[in-house]
Amino acid sequence: MPDATTLYLILPEITLAVFGMVILAVDLIWRERSRAALAWLTVLGFVIALATALLGWGWNMALFAQMYVVDTFAIFFKLLAAIAGILVTLVSLDYLRDRTPYRGEFLALFTFAVLAMMMMASSASLLMIYLSIEFLSYMSYLLTGFLREDKKSNEAAIKYFLYGAITSALMLYGLSLLYGISGSLNFADITATFAARNDVPTRIVALVSTALVIAGLGFKISLVPFHQWAPDTYEGAPTPVTAFLSVGPKAVGFAVLLRVLLTALPAFKNEWIALLTVISVLTMTLGNLVALRQKNVKRLLAYSSIAQAGYILIGLVSVNLNGASPFSGLNGVLIYLFAYLFTNLGAFTCVIAIENATGAVEIDDYKGLVKRAPFIAALFVIFFLSLAGIPPTAGFIGKFFVFGAALREGFLVLAAIGVINSVISVFYYFSVVRAAFFEAGKDTAPIRLAPPITFSLVVSAALVLVMAVYPEPFFNLAAWSMGMFGVAK
Amino acid sequence: MLDRYGVVALFAFMAVLFPAIPLVFSWIIRPKKPNKSKTTTYECGLEFEDFPEEAQQVWVQFRVQYFLYAIIFVVFDIEAVFLYPWAVAYNALGLYALVEMVLFLGILILALAYAWRKGLLEWA
Amino acid sequence: MTVHHFIILSAILFSIGAVGVLLRRNPLIMFMSIELMLNAVNLAFVGFSRFLQLVDGQVFVFLILTVAAAEVAVGLAIIVAIFRARDSVDVDEVSDLKG
């Protein structure tokens, strides 16, 4: 029987589970009358989850037979999940109103998706990792294919589903090998086994299973070569879902990857660093080069988000928790993910605002945008500056810490490739800005913004700028969030 | 020793007897009007030459409700995977496991209520 | 019958499933191949669990079975939606989005 402390520490998860089911039930009972209220109920659920997640701050405990941990690292990602939940719910209101009658189901599935993200952040056994990843995946497939009558949405869903099912089977095979060789599902025991046994057969099996686990998580993070689903899925999915997929699963994918590599497989650090360095270079370069040729803004942002995953991976391979350097790699990843969350959600919110008004998602349709919607055009510049990593924006701070960690660890070539890629990315981000500012468009009707979208745009843009101008609280947040259960500081 | 094999023998006998009873019983009471379709070996459906005109019009796509029933069946079928071990170990698990199982079933009942309310349980 | 037999059989089944997914183009068949891969993993878990004399591998199998059922529900729902929208489920024909 779990004691009161356990229940207290999993309050955010309980909150979201209850809210998800209440939303479904309310939608069933009062179909027509409850629609506007349901979205606000969802937002309320995320706000309560955010507050209750903060209650667990400072605890460092393993629950449920060591399968589930609540530490500051997990809580950091729970905060990210709740914030992403609030912003995406706000921007999805108008988008869904014209496109589907099943908004209650959408909100319930979305609440469960955020719940799954929180569970991923806390998972500390092979079993919990598998269950929470699959939970998030199924919610994502359903949300991607949510516009049932829309062929593109269906196609996006089946591609996402097939890729996801294959990579999760690969990962599961890796987990079974890991269980067989170490005799436990628990991260602490796995570490102990590999510290004690270091013979060649053990190492070979462990390395194969590490590679398979990286394949499964690489799919969620959209790392090359497991990225092929991303452009099609991002283009076909309802745009608020695309916005969510580009930040949510990616962030918690990194959380699980970090936790597995640092708390279960530290014995193979040199091997996974070598593997992930190669993947990082491929991911950045391929993402950026293909993004240069894109005509559709959603596809462009898809390739951009693949490239961003490559940059974040630089921080992951440079992780070094010894010493008191401000560039531990881990804090770089956390700061980068925090900055990326607001930047990418902001950029997608701009896309959604324009799509709501005009239905257009091609770069050519953005011509003359500055005359029709000067506010959106200006925010686009801020978000794209941040994505490209140009000061004074949050993206610059993130890149600074990630590349700094690479330099500290002596990965000069990797850092140089990262910088070159950032320069390449400026070209395609500014192809959108050029169309919006310097080319004349046919249509000149002004674009109106709904209040919830304006709110989330202002919040995102403000945080992107504040992080750059006054970054100290965010450094501290990242530094505090490095407390991972089972890792000595 | 012998009585253990006796149990096995009794079990084998009952296993043969149970399917035999309905077969024999139906053979006794059913009307016997064989035709070509009825006497052919059943394999992946039937030919309908001897059937009346309206009965031949059955080569149709399955209704989509059939698929929905199948999905709901699979989901509720799998619930038994958790119910059986829980029932077997019930005495050792105590009150908390009962609470957990009630929660688990409650969530499934919400899903069933959803399907019901959406009209998935009505065939017509 | 040692644990090796189970693991080798599981590896063979997993490979058959993986090849099936890569070569077949009907989502339903791909789907069945994925189920074969999952069941190969189940076999590996049960084999390891018996070899290690630990029960948690078998618990894992229960949960994989459940998750696979959920996967079937989600996957078939998506396939049916595609079929309704375009009367074909061949993956090569489902290509409005350039990949």
Residues A140-191: pLDDT tens digits?
A: 999 999 988 888 898 899 999 999 999 999 999 999 999 998 888 988 888 8
CA B60 – CA A463 distance, rounded (Å): 59
Q: Which residues of C touch B85 (CB under 8 A)?
A: 62
Q: What is the mean pLDDT of chain A?
A: 89
Assigned token pair, A464:
């992107």
- Answer yes or no: do C65 and B75 touch at CB < 8 A: no
Report whether A448 contacts A372 (CB < 8 A). no
Report the top-level CATH class of C3-90: mainly alpha
Residue bearing the bigger pLDDT, A57 or B104: B104
Q: Which residues of C touch B74 (CB under 8 A)?
A: 69, 72-73
Q: Identify the sign of the CA torsion B87, B93, B97, B102.
A: positive
Report the pLDDT value the prediction gives residue C99, as an integer from 0 to 100.
46
Assigned token pair, A304:
């951009």
Report the pLDDT value the prediction gives residue A489, as an integer from 0 to 100.
46
Which of the 8 DSSP states describes residue C24? Answer: -
The ipTM (two decimal places) reads: 0.91
Across the range B107-121, mean pLDDT stands at: 85
Report the pLDDT value the prediction gives residue A478, as an integer from 0 to 100.
84
Across the range A231-248, mean pLDDT stands at: 92
Neighbour-count burial for A108-129, b at 16+ CB within 10 Å, e otherwise: bbbbbbbbbbbbbbbbbbbbbb
- Answer yes or no: do A131 and C67 touch at CB < 8 A: yes
Across the range A397-415, mean pLDDT stands at: 90
- Answer yes or no: do A21 and B110 touch at CB < 8 A: yes
Look at A242-251, A347-356, C5-14, C24-33 and tell me which has the smallest mean pLDDT: C24-33
Report whether A224 contacts A278 (CB < 8 A). no
Look at A123-127, A148-152, A321-325, B81-85 and tell me which has the smallest mean pLDDT: A321-325
Across the range B84-110, mean pLDDT stands at: 88
Report the pLDDT value the prediction gives residue B124, as an integer from 0 to 100.
57
> Considering only CA atoms, which of A111, A455, A92 is closest in space to residue A240?
A92
Strands A68-70 and A61-63: antiparallel
Chain C, 14 to 73: residues with Cβ < 8 Å from chain B are 62, 65-66, 69-70, 72-73
Report whether A151 contacts C96 (CB < 8 A). yes
pTM of the model: 0.88
Measure CA A196 to chain center.
35
Local structure of A62: helix, strand or coil: strand
- Sequence spans of domains, chain B: 2-117
Residue that has been written with the tokens 């001897």 in this structure: B50
Residues 6+ apart with CB under 8 A from B8: none
Residues B10-27: pLDDT tens digits?
A: 889 999 999 999 999 988
- Answer yes or no: do C14 and A173 touch at CB < 8 A: yes
Chain A, 11 to 50: residues with Cβ < 8 Å from chain B are 21, 24-25, 28
CA distance A356 to chain B (A): 29
> Considering only CA atoms, which of A127, A58, A45, A57 is closest in space to residue A89?
A45
Q: Which residues of A touch C48 (CB under 8 A)?
A: 176, 179-180
Return phi, psi of residue A126, to 5°.
Answer: -60, -35
**Amino acid occupying residue A176:** S
Residues A255-280: pLDDT tens digits?
A: 999 999 988 888 888 889 999 999 99
Report which secondary-structure segment, H or E, holds A63.
strand A61-63
Look at A33-42, B11-20, B104-113, C73-82 and tell me which has the smallest mean pLDDT: A33-42
Report the pLDDT value the prediction gives residue A244, as an integer from 0 to 100.
94
Residues A48-100: pLDDT tens digits?
A: 999 999 988 878 888 888 889 998 899 999 999 999 999 999 999 888 887 87
Q: What is the mean pLDDT of chain C?
A: 85
Q: Identify the sign of the CA torsion C70, C71, C74, C80.
A: negative
Closest Cα in chain B to A3: B96
Q: Which residues of B touch C73 (CB under 8 A)?
A: 71, 74-75
Percentage of chain A with pLDDT > 90? 53
CATH 1.20.58 fits B2-117, yes or no: yes
Residue A4 touches partner B, C-beta closer than 8 Å: no
- Inter-chain Cβ pairs, chain A and chain B, closer than 8 A: 12
Q: Identify the sign of the CA torsion A252, A258, A263, A264.
A: positive
Chain length of chain A: 489
Residues B66-87: pLDDT tens digits?
A: 777 888 888 788 888 888 888 8
Chain length of chain C: 99
Across the range A339-345, mean pLDDT stands at: 94
Q: Is residue A205 over pLDDT 70?
A: yes
Question: What residues of A are in the C interface, CB distance below 8 Å?
Answer: 126-127, 130-131, 134, 138, 141-142, 145, 148-152, 154-159, 161-162, 165-166, 169-170, 172-173, 175-177, 179-180, 183-185, 228, 231-232, 235-236
CA C84 – CA A73 distance, rounded (Å): 45
Q: Is residue A252 over pLDDT 50?
A: yes
Among the partner-chain residues B96, B107, B113, the one whose CB lies closest to the CB of A28 is: B113
Residue bearing the bigger pLDDT, A200 or B59: A200
- Which chains does chain C touch, 3 or more C-beta pairs < 8 A? A, B
Assigned token pair, A456:
């989330």
- Which chains does chain B touch, 3 or more C-beta pairs < 8 A? A, C
Q: Is residue C1 over pLDDT 80?
A: no
Report the pLDDT value the prediction gives residue A39, as an integer from 0 to 100.
87
Which of the 8 DSSP states describes residue A123? Answer: B
